[in-house]
Amino acid sequence: MTRYQHLACLLSDRIEQGLYRSGERLPSVRTLSLEHGVSISTVQQAYHLLEEKQLIVPQPRSGYFVATRKSTPPVPGMTRPAQRPVEITQWESVLELLSSRMDSDVLQLGSGIPDLTQPTLKPLWKIQSRMAQKQDAGLLNYDSLVGVSALREQVARLAIDSGCQLSADDIVATTGCHEALSISIRAVCDPGDIIAVESPTFHGTMQTLRGFGIRAIEIPTDSVTGMSLEALELAFEQWPIKAVVVVPNCNNPLGFIMPESRKRALLALAQRFDAAIIEDDVYGELAWEYPRPITIKSLDMDGRVLLCSSFSKTLAPGLRVGWVAPGRYRDRVLHMKYISTGSTATQPQHAVAEFVRQGHYGPHIRRMRQVYQRNYDIFSCWVRHYFPCGICVSRPQGGFLMWIELPEAFDAVRLNTELRTLKIQVAVGSLFSASGKYRNCLRLNYGLPINEHTEQAIAQLGAAVEQAMLACNAETLHATSLTN
Amino acid sequence: MTRYQHLACLLSDRIEQGLYRSGERLPSVRTLSLEHGVSISTVQQAYHLLEEKQLIVPQPRSGYFVATRKSTPPVPGMTRPAQRPVEITQWESVLELLSSRMDSDVLQLGSGIPDLTQPTLKPLWKIQSRMAQKQDAGLLNYDSLVGVSALREQVARLAIDSGCQLSADDIVATTGCHEALSISIRAVCDPGDIIAVESPTFHGTMQTLRGFGIRAIEIPTDSVTGMSLEALELAFEQWPIKAVVVVPNCNNPLGFIMPESRKRALLALAQRFDAAIIEDDVYGELAWEYPRPITIKSLDMDGRVLLCSSFSKTLAPGLRVGWVAPGRYRDRVLHMKYISTGSTATQPQHAVAEFVRQGHYGPHIRRMRQVYQRNYDIFSCWVRHYFPCGICVSRPQGGFLMWIELPEAFDAVRLNTELRTLKIQVAVGSLFSASGKYRNCLRLNYGLPINEHTEQAIAQLGAAVEQAMLACNAETLHATSLTN
């Protein structure tokens, strides 16, 4: 993006945010040039661009005024999944997404990988190097089934920020949040049972349900406030739901933070229908807001919430260090942990514990929040600029994932196949539905480096989407004419 | 053990092995003193000890002669488990064993932990230190779902020694052999299915069956030749057995290596009844014999064998680096791997791959075989010396596990509780049965350091066993007198 495009983007953001209202006079070219340290001609180019986009209108001898603007894409509305428990499909698509992960030529716009390039990660290497030099045989040995105690102590300490009063004994270390979710699901459900999930929801959770023969009832979910509690209540009344899996903080894929009142209401519902809540907080630490949002676990008085998380999104996924606070399901969770992997790799647990203990975690998280928030501003600018009209885009409140909804008839699976030649890969929406809905949606990772290569990819993606939308409209027209 | 006790032990070994036959004259005191570089009085003390044990008889002016000796304990006979599929119990005992693992004051005679103190492990530290210094962000990232390709290449190369022709693509890396077994079991079975297992067998496998709602049919197993194929055939005819789980090489806990002809016969049976074989080879590299014994997988032509292993017993369990060669079940295994832990920790996989690639693995394994074989000689000497008569002891052909069978009425669970005050812990036999059989058996780890502390523990254990056996006999007598 050039300088003038950036400025145009910034101005359109301000218009969107209501800082400049419809009909209001915009700052003069000279004022803006001074304010932003750019040349007069850059400002003029920016204004021209906004004029072309019909966001502003020139008034001879008076400057520029805010017009009825090309608005920021709206957020996606409440989703409408199937109203009955279904068996999960889509494994082949998940496998395809995972397989392309290893192709370094392909830009992984669809991945859930955090930015691993920040200097605040450096102490982690130092700690690991020192550990190797010490040659402590204990690091080569199995540690406790519940995990390294130094790690569990630090996890308990960090959990205070999310409102939880946990002790090290309340925590079981796992091989990533993936294992935490998997053993939690198996601890509270048997094959044939029904679990309620947000729709869309993380494909890993969904595939776990499939693997254990558990059916999912997908609950309509709003991209701003989260799971519809009204729909959940109806589902509870109609089906014997054993547990609810939710990602209430920086939801994957929608990015919302569930308001506290709704968290309370969800817990009350679970109590009323005596269901467990499996709370996936893996992106929770990456919320923009400070202090970070509370977990449902922090409100839990009767141990029915199993809080699952990891250091995969905040530090590094390759460490596979996760954890679960299983509440009253501890015994079953321990058994499931034992049969799943025996115990968790020892060294990575010690490395993470030491990283947190030495005080590197706070500064790192603060930096990552800033990085992702800045990235989001730029990415959403790019999406607005390069994508066609008629799309909805989520407004994440943390994390690094963005959800784009295209018109109903759009086929993102086909698009993703076409994108292969461009060496771009997105996560298609159908991965996030039990029954393959949301084929018209995409999930993008804005944690990727902000550079020309990424911008070019978004531009190419936007163009491909535009082309596919045109083709799709033509097909619809054709189909309509055939029917008539 | 003092010098003279050692010599006595050595001589009794030779008597046992038939090197000195019954009635044969033993070497003179002077000859032995020269041969072993010990004093005349040491030899005399040794001969006195053997005389006391009635192993040798003095003939005035002629020296010592081999007497009708206190023989080496016999090996346990064929086991006799329940003849029907059962649901698995014993989780509480397993948990107790695992929990005591972290108490460094307790001598872990019951653990499955290898010797981690040998200098041939040192290059592993060096490799890890260098990896940390290089700060390659790739090591912090997820790797492929199937595992790091450098690791899979080395695993495929090592598998040649067990007769397997595998390529890197045939292998899926896992979080230890534990996960390999777990995902293999889930890949070939559904809840309610039946799996045949050796009896006794590894408690981890058994608990996995329990966790997934699979029933076990325990097959009688001989401590020298392995699972009774005759009994297995009968079981196949009677029950719809989906798979057989076996540890044919350096069996856990019995230590046998199944003869090759029986491996072939087992595979033929599985083919005839169209069952899968889940082969746990985690101790296979530690066989005394050279070249190492083949796996059943090496004979498998139709991909029905899922070969599971890891570097936990050969290198270090804390790395949690294992693998499975799933044959024709690859797709299901991959799905189960995904829902179990997502992917395996990246750095440990690279470290192991590099350790093998640099050529450190061969020398390390050769050393560990020697260490364990020497340890076994000394341990079995101690057991013979300190344990009462009337016991059976397995003759492991590799690995570091020894199985001791005490008289039928003996209660090892009660013994283990009493041992707590002595800070000793054994693995009680009932852990290795689906239904809690083998309460009269113990599993010992002779991979522990050979020193006074360990010897003292074996002496204390032997004394405790003797006392318990006496008490047990008294109780039986009492019970009999009450009945009469």
Question: What is the pLDDT at residue A55?
Answer: 79
The region of weakest confidence among A34-38, A40-44, A65-69, A432-436 is A65-69
Cβ contact A132–B137 (<8 Å): no
Facing residue for B117 by CB, picked from A137, A318, A341 = A137
> Nearest to residue A441, comparing CAs of A419, A421, A465, A417?
A465
What is the arithmetic mean of pLDDT over B436-443? 94
> Nearest to residue B155, comparing CAs of B170, B175, B142?
B170
Question: What is the pLDDT at residue A436?
Answer: 86
What is the arithmetic mean of pLDDT over B76-93? 87
For residue B146, the one-letter residue type is V
A320 contact residues in B (CB cutoff 8 A)? 175, 341-346
B25 pLDDT band, cuts 50/70/90, is confident
Instruction: Write out pLDDT tens, residues B173-196.
Output: 999 999 999 999 999 999 999 999
- A472 CB-near residues (< 8 Å, 6+ apart): A407, A409, A410, A411
B311 contact residues in A (CB cutoff 8 A)? none
The region of weakest confidence among A308-317, B86-95, B286-295, B395-404 is B86-95
From residue A286, give the alpha-carbon distance in Å to each of A362, B222, B395. Answer: 11, 57, 57
Compute the C-alpha angle A54/A55/A56, nearest 5°.
95
Question: What is the pLDDT at residue A440?
Answer: 95
From residue A453, give the alpha-carbon distance in Å to each of A48, A375, A456, B305, B452. Answer: 26, 14, 5, 46, 66
CB A333 within 8 A of CB A324: yes
Question: What is the pLDDT at residue B481?
Answer: 65
Q: Domains of chain A, with CATH numbers? A: 3-66 (1.10.10.10), 128-361 (3.40.640.10)
**Does B92 lie at the interface with A, CB-CB under 8 angstroms?**
no
- B155 CB-near residues (< 8 Å, 6+ apart): B166, B168, B171, B173, B323
* Alpha carbons A243 and A226: distance in angstroms, whole number: 17
pLDDT at B18 exceeding the cut of 90:
no
> Nearest to residue A310, comparing CAs of B142, B147, B347?
B142
Q: Which of residues 176-205 of A touch B (CB under 8 A)?
A: 176, 178-179, 182, 186, 190-191, 204
pLDDT at A442 exceeding the cut of 60:
yes
Instruction: Write out pLDDT tens, residues B365-409.
Output: 999 999 999 999 889 888 988 998 889 999 999 999 999 999 999
Question: What is the pLDDT at residue B87?
Answer: 83
Facing residue for A182 by CB, picked from B94, B132, B339 = B339
Instruction: Write out pLDDT tens, residues A379-420.
Output: 988 898 899 988 999 999 999 999 999 999 999 999 999 999
Burial readout B170-186 (b: 16 or more C-beta within 10 A, e: otherwise): bbbbbbbbbbbbbbbbb
What is the arithmetic mean of pLDDT over B44-71? 79
* Alpha carbons B463 and A47: distance in angstroms, whole number: 94
ipTM of the complex: 0.86
Across the A:B interface, residue pairs with CB atoms under 8 Å apart total 203
**Lateral strand order in the sheet of B226-227:** B172-175, B321-325, B305-310, B276-280, B241-246, B194-199, B215-222, B226-227
A121 contact residues in B (CB cutoff 8 A)? 140
Cβ contact A320–B338 (<8 Å): no
**Structure tokens, B275:** 């069952």
- Rounded to the nearest 10 degrees, the angle between the axes of helix B452-483 and helix B361-386 is 50
A474 pLDDT band, cuts 50/70/90, is confident
pTM: 0.87
B187 contact residues in A (CB cutoff 8 A)? none
Facing residue for B129 by CB, picked from A133, A179, A186 = A133
The region of weakest confidence among A56-70, A205-219, B28-42, B209-223 is A56-70
A431 contact residues in B (CB cutoff 8 A)? none
Based on its alpha-carbon atoms, the radius of gyration of chain A, rounded to whole angstroms, reads 24
What is the arithmetic mean of pLDDT over A306-322? 97
Among chain B residues, the shortest Cα distance to A338 is held by B204
Q: What average pLDDT does chain B have?
A: 92
* Alpha carbons B209 and B149: distance in angstroms, whole number: 30
Determine how many CB atoms are found less than 10 A away from the CB of residue A240.
Answer: 10
Among chain A residues, the shortest Cα distance to B316 is held by A140
Question: What is the pLDDT at residue A480?
Answer: 64
- Select the highest-mean-pLDDT range: A5-9, A99-103, A136-140, A309-313: A309-313
CB A458 within 8 A of CB A426: no
Question: What is the pLDDT at residue B71?
Answer: 62
* Alpha carbons B255 and B77: distance in angstroms, whole number: 14
Question: What is the pLDDT at residue B484?
Answer: 55
- Residue B303 CA to its chain's centroid (Å): 27
